[in-house]
Amino acid sequence: MNDSSSSSFPSIDREYQEAVGLPNVTGTPERRLLLAILERAILDYVGNEPKEIEEAERWLFSEIEEGNSSQFSFSWVCEQLDLDTFKIANKIRVMPRRGTRKVAPWYFQKTAASA
């Protein structure tokens, strides 16, 4: 990623970057919206609120197990973003939980805007 675009996206490790295809995140407002939906679901899943965790887990994984796909489902969002649904789901499953910490995991902490 170049320096001008890196300030608006999460600071994450190389493995996660490759998994979600972040070099291609620039683009249309629609693409950025879908990325925001996916990011919110992941933040909820690794979070510390039981209801949010349960709802995010249901959105992220239930349709994969059932084999269904509808508009704005996890699989549909991944497809629109040209991401491998199963690879992304597996990466999300093993992400460490936030636990009692109130801050986002390191892979979602925003970097400071460059001056």
What confidence tens digit (pLDDT) does each residue in 4-55 have?
A: 444 444 444 555 555 555 555 557 888 989 999 999 999 999 988 899 999 9
Identity of residue 67: G
Residue 3 near residue 102 (C-beta atoms within 8 A): no
Residue 6 parent element (H or E): helix 3-6
Whole-model pTM: value is: 0.64
3-state secondary structure of 56: helix
pLDDT greater at residue 66 or residue 69: 69
3-state secondary structure of 100: coil
Confidence (pLDDT) at 66: 63
Residue 115 near residue 8 (C-beta atoms within 8 A): no
Residue 21 near residue 82 (C-beta atoms within 8 A): yes
**Domain definitions of the chain by residue range:** 50-96
What's the CA gap between 46 and 94, in Å, rounded?
10
* Range among 51-55, 66-70, 93-97, 108-112 with highest mean pLDDT value: 51-55
Confidence (pLDDT) at 109: 58
3-state secondary structure of 23: helix
